[in-house]
Each structure stands twice: as C-alpha cells, then as structure tokens.
C-alpha cells in the first residue's frame, strides 16, 4: 500500500517521498489510519520499525489546520526517555514537516534553560521533551499545558525502566482532559499496561508481530568467553573479521573509558559515548560515527538509547543488558527498516541468569559460538527457558521485573535443573523505595 492511500495530505506524502520512503512499514500501515481518526492508540513496536513516523505523520496532518499556536503553548507533546531520542524524533519531525508551516522543538536536561525558554515564548506546535526538564519548565511557568491536544509517550517501557513514572504522572495530571493519547512501547509489560490505564483510555491496540518487525533480518549469536578475556576477544574479532563498524554496549561509563584505552593499546581507535561526557562531545562523537570517521563506538545503554544510525551493520553486547527487554531495544539498533544486521553478545558464566531471562523473553535460545583461543574456562550452562527469577513482581507495582538477587547462584546444566522445584509462594509484599518504586535490596540502575 502506498503512503497516499493512508489518508495523509500531499504535503506529508511528498516529504516522506523526498526521504526515499516508498511504502509504509507495517506499524505505519496499522497506526496511521487509526491515529488519523483521533482515537487513542496503544502500540507495541520496537525501535527500527519506523514507529516514529507512525505517530509523527498523523500529528502533522491533524495539526496542519492553519491554527496559530499561542505564546508558551504547545499543541502536541511527545515524551521521550532520553535527550538523544528527543533530538532524533524532533529531527524527523523537521524532515516530515518541511512542506507545512508547523514548528517543533526538542527539550531536554543537561543544557541551559534560557535558550529553551526563549524558544517557547512564541509557542511551538510540536514539543518533544524528556519528562524531568519538561516539569522543570512547567514549574518555572515557561510553558503552559492548556493547549495540548495530543500526547505521545514514546518508548514508554524505557521511561518506566528509567524511573520516570512519577514525573509522567505529574505531567498527565496537568494536561487537558480532552486530548488524544498514543503510547508506543517495545513491549507491553504489566507496568506499561498500568500506565496505559491512566494515560490512554480505551485505546485501539496494535502490535507488529515479530516476523513483521526487523527481527528476522538480524543475525543473533552469543559467544561464550571468560569475563577477563572479553576485551581481547573484541580486538581479535575486530581484526580477524575486519569489522567495518560496531556499536558496542557496555554497562558502566567507567568500563567504557577503560575499554577505549584497552583497544587503543592494541592499535584500535574507538570512542565512548556516555552520560559523563558533555552533550556537545556526545553529539560530535555520534556525528563522527555516522560519518564513518569513528568505526567503533562504545556506549552505555542509556546513552545509546534513541541513537538513529542508518545501516548500522553490527551491535555487540559486551555486557549483557538488564532488564531483558533492553536486549530487544539494543539489537533493534541494527537491521533497521529493511537492512541486514548482526547482533553479537559476549556471555560469561556470571551472566547466566541474565541470559536465561533474555532467552526466555525471546522464547528461543540464541545461537552459541566459541572462538578458538577464547574458549571459556568457566562453562556457561544452557539456559532454562522456563526460568523464573526468585523475585516476582506483584501486578501493578512499578518496580523492575525479575531482577536477579545477589546471592542467587547459577543453576547447573543438569537435567534436574531444567525443571526448577516449585517454590512456596511469598505472601510478603516487598518494601519498595519511595522514589523509584524499586524493591529495596534489589540492585539500583548503575550510573551510565
Ligand atoms: P524508527 O523505528 O522510527 O526509529 O525508524 C527506523 C528507521 O527507519 C529510520 O532511519 C527511519 O528514517 C526509517 N524509516 C521509517 N519509515 C520508513 C519507511 N516507510 N521506509 C523506509 N525507511 C523508513
């Protein structure tokens, strides 16, 4: 089906054609006609499926009515988890709206308030904002919410993982009741559905089946390796397989800096992107990576969220992500909108539980490989697909789900381990941290 059949105006169809899009992606085909009717939408779509255009295009169409936005007002609000994603979404809006007179702006923390305040004075049609900075600006009376007609929660699962639930609820409470709502999320977990209950009443629910999304175009594999051999394995693969490019995910910013210097010592130039670097230098590194000047980019998960890099051929999970849904987000960085990609995960024995949770979420085992010279001394057992973490999140709690606990020991790969003994149900409700909603005693997200 061509874009012109989705009910979009000529100005918008022309803009997407200018971008080289010929046909809508499955999520666009499903979401755009529904959104254009003004109905609420709850959509399960991973990054890389073309989800941004599926809410931006109808918003442009609905707002392109010649109405002038008032001072300090916005008509559509898109909430995004990170500044990178906010910038990326807004950049897409600029491209898609180029044949209209609509205005847009990205608003995020970590930078001066003043330029953002000045930009808001005349009003903006579409604002893409991170929740924390938006609330700050609201408190400073730099923005009023009374003209908001459309709310989008983009990557809602990620916003919840990052602990934005309170900010999001505060924002929603202050919005006009008569508005259209759209929620996009890679997974529709219990927490996301709970948020949807308050934010997106009676939605039309759509999802892109796994085989419709980018998943089949991504070759996934895991390489088992001892923890202390990961950096030499990475250098080995880069050299042996002559990698043209790789986005390498690592857990901490300290680890990222260390890996850059380890690679440098082996003659491999790499750059790191994490929240410890200024916004300017992150943007520069990203530009250099996109332009091919930087071939290997080492990124912490949060910093890398929202990066839109066309034709990224390879992602590497140097450290396995947590929560498991993050794995899906990460591999979605490659194989985007049709191109082929490769996702490689390094797995050592101490990652076993995390691996079980990821493979359980995927519903299948990931292809395993061993590399000569790097065969682990500590064997990594085969996952138990019906693995259940000890801590089970009660329905409706905003805590992170199924976090492995420090004293949990990996199960052995014995036949008895495949059927874990049923456990007595725990009646006691976990005590949760008041700020984050995370059960006390579980690991807090590391600084990234
Ligand atoms: P997203 O999932 O919104 O991050 O989009 C992933 C990538 O797909 C971006 O680089 C978009 O520019 C691109 N894209 C979105 N829609 C289409 C389409 N209909 N045809 C080709 N590429 C697209």
Q: Is residue 383 part of a domain?
A: no
Q: What's the token pair of residue 313?
A: 């051929």
Q: What is the CATH number of the domain that holds 131?
A: 3.40.50.300
Cβ–ligand 1 contact at 27 (below 6 Å): no
pLDDT (tens, 9 = 90+) of the chain, 448 residues, equals: 889 899 999 999 999 999 888 889 999 999 999 999 999 999 998 877 889 999 999 999 999 999 999 999 999 999 999 888 999 999 999 999 999 999 999 999 989 999 999 999 999 999 999 999 999 999 999 999 999 999 999 999 888 888 899 999 999 999 999 999 999 998 888 888 889 988 999 999 998 865 444 444 678 999 999 999 999 999 999 999 999 899 999 999 899 999 999 999 999 999 998 877 777 888 888 889 888 899 999 998 766 665 666 667 899 999 998 888 788 777 877 766 556 788 999 999 999 999 988 888 777 788 899 999 999 999 898 877 665 555 544 433 333 333 333 333 333 333 333 333 344 444 444 444 443 344 444 444 444 4
Atom of ligand 1 nearest to the CA of 52: 3
Q: Is residue 377 part of a domain?
A: no
Q: Is residue 393 part of a domain?
A: no
User: Taking the complete model, does pTM exceed 0.85, yes or no?
Assistant: no
Q: What's the token pair of residue 332?
A: 């979605």
Residue 441 backbone class (left: φ over 0; alpha: ψ -120 to 50; beta: rest)? left
Regarding whether 146 and 77 lie in a shared domain, the answer is: yes
Q: Is residue 441 part of a domain?
A: no
What is the spatial distance between Cα 145 and Cα 135, in angstroms, rounded to a whole number?
A: 11
Atom of ligand 1 nearest to the CA of 337: 8
Question: Atom 5 of ligand 1 has which residue's CA nearest to it?
Answer: 50
Regarding whether 189 and 296 lie in a shared domain, the answer is: no
Q: Is residue 391 part of a domain?
A: no
Question: Atom 6 of ligand 1 has which residue's CA nearest to it?
Answer: 48
Q: What's the confidence (pLDDT) of residue 16?
A: 95
Q: How far is the CA of 50 from the centre of ligand 1 (A)?
A: 4
φ and ψ at residue 225, rounded to 5 degrees: -160, 150
Element (H, E) at 303: helix 301-304
Q: What's the token pair of residue 368?
A: 């395993």
Regarding whether 174 and 253 lie in a shared domain, the answer is: no
Q: Is residue 444 part of a domain?
A: no
Regarding whether 79 and 189 lie in a shared domain, the answer is: yes
Regarding whether 159 and 264 lie in a shared domain, the answer is: no
Q: What's the token pair of residue 153?
A: 């929660």
How many CB atoms sit inside 10 A of residue 447's CB?
A: 12
Q: What's the confidence (pLDDT) of residue 445?
A: 43
Regarding whether 250 and 187 lie in a shared domain, the answer is: no
* Domain extent for 227: 216-369
Q: Is residue 406 part of a domain?
A: no
Please identify, among 185, 212, 239, the residue that sits at the C-terminal boundary of a domain.
Answer: 212
Q: How many domains does the chain have?
A: 2
CA distances from 323 to 75, 194, 353, 400 (A): 34, 18, 11, 8
Q: How far is the CA of 54 from the centre of ligand 1 (A)?
A: 9
Please identify, among 195, 212, 229, the residue that sits at the C-terminal boundary of a domain.
Answer: 212
Question: Atom 14 of ligand 1 has which residue's CA nearest to it?
Answer: 50
What secondary structure does DSSP assign to 348-373, as a single string? -GGGHHHHHHHHHHHTSPPPEE--TT
CB within 8 Å of 54: residues ≥ 6 apart: 25, 27, 28, 30, 31, 32, 35, 43, 45, 184
Q: What's the token pair of residue 393?
A: 């999140």
Cβ–ligand 1 contact at 52 (below 6 Å): yes
Q: Is residue 412 part of a domain?
A: no
Please identify, among 323, 338, 369, the residue that sits at the C-terminal boundary of a domain.
Answer: 369
Regarding whether 134 and 121 lie in a shared domain, the answer is: yes
Regarding whether 240 and 121 lie in a shared domain, the answer is: no
Q: How far is the CA of 184 from the centre of ligand 1 (A)?
A: 15
Would strands 218-224 and 341-347 be described as parallel, antiparallel, or unpaired?
parallel
Regarding whether 153 and 257 lie in a shared domain, the answer is: no
CB within 8 Å of 45: residues ≥ 6 apart: 27, 31, 51, 54, 184, 185, 186, 207, 208, 213
What is the spatial distance between Cα 188 and Cα 46, in angstroms, rounded to a whole number?
A: 11
Regarding whether 69 and 33 lie in a shared domain, the answer is: yes
Regarding whether 354 and 261 lie in a shared domain, the answer is: yes
Regarding whether 227 and 101 lie in a shared domain, the answer is: no
């Amino acid at each position: 089906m061509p874009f012109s059949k989705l009910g979009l105006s000529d100005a918008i169809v022309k803009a997407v054609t200018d971008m080289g899009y010929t046909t809508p992606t499955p999520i666009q085909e499903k979401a755009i006609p529904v959104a254009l009717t003004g109905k609420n939408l709850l959509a399960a779509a991973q990054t890389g499926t073309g989800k941004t255009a599926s809410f931006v295009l109808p918003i442009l169409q609905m707002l392109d009515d010649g109405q002038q936005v008032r001072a300090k007002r916005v008509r559509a609000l898109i909430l995004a988890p990170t500044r990178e994603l906010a910038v990326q979404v807004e950049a897409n809006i600029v491209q898609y709206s180029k044949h209209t007179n609509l205005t847009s702006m990205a608003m995020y923390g970590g930078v001066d308030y003043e330029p953002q305040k000045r930009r808001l004075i005349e009003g903006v049609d579409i604002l893409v904002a991170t929740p924390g900075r938006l609330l700050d600006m609201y408190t400073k009376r730099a923005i009023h919410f009374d003209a908001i007609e459309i709310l989008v929660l983009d990557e809602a699962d990620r916003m919840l993982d990052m602990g934005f639930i309170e900010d999001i609820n505060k924002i929603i409470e202050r919005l006009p009741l008569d508005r259209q709502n759209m929620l996009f999320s890679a997974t529709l977990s219990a927490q996301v559905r709970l948020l949807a209950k308050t934010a997106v009443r009676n939605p039309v629910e759509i999802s892109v089946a796994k085989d419709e999304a980018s998943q089949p175009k991504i070759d996934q594999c895991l390489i088992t390796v001892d923890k202390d051999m990961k950096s030499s394995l990475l250098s080995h693969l880069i050299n042996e397989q002559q990698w043209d490019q790789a986005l390498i995910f690592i857990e901490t910013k300290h680890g990222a800096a260390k890996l850059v210097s380890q690679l440098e010592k082996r003659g491999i130039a790499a750059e790191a992107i994490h929240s410890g670097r200024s916004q300017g230098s992150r943007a520069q590194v990203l530009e250099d990576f996109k332009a091919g000047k930087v071939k290997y980019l080492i990124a912490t998960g949060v910093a890398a969220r929202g990066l839109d890099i066309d034709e990224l051929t390879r992602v590497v999970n140097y450290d396995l992500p947590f929560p498991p849904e993050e794995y899906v987000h990460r591999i979605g960085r490659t194989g985007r909108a049709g191109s082929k990609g490769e996702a490689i995960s390094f797995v050592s024995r101490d990652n076993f539980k995390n691996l079980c949770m990821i493979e359980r979420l995927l519903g299948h085992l990931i292809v395993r490989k061993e590399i000569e010279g790097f065969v682990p001394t500590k064997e990594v057992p085969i996952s138990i697909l019906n693995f259940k973490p000890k801590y089970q999140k009660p329905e409706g709690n905003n805590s992170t789900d199924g976090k492995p606990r420090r004293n949990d020991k990996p199960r052995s790969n014995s036949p008895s381990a495949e059927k874990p003994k049923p456990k007595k149900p725990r009646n006691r409700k976990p005590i949760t941290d008041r700020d984050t909603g995370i059960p006390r005693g579980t690991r807090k997200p590391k600084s990234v």
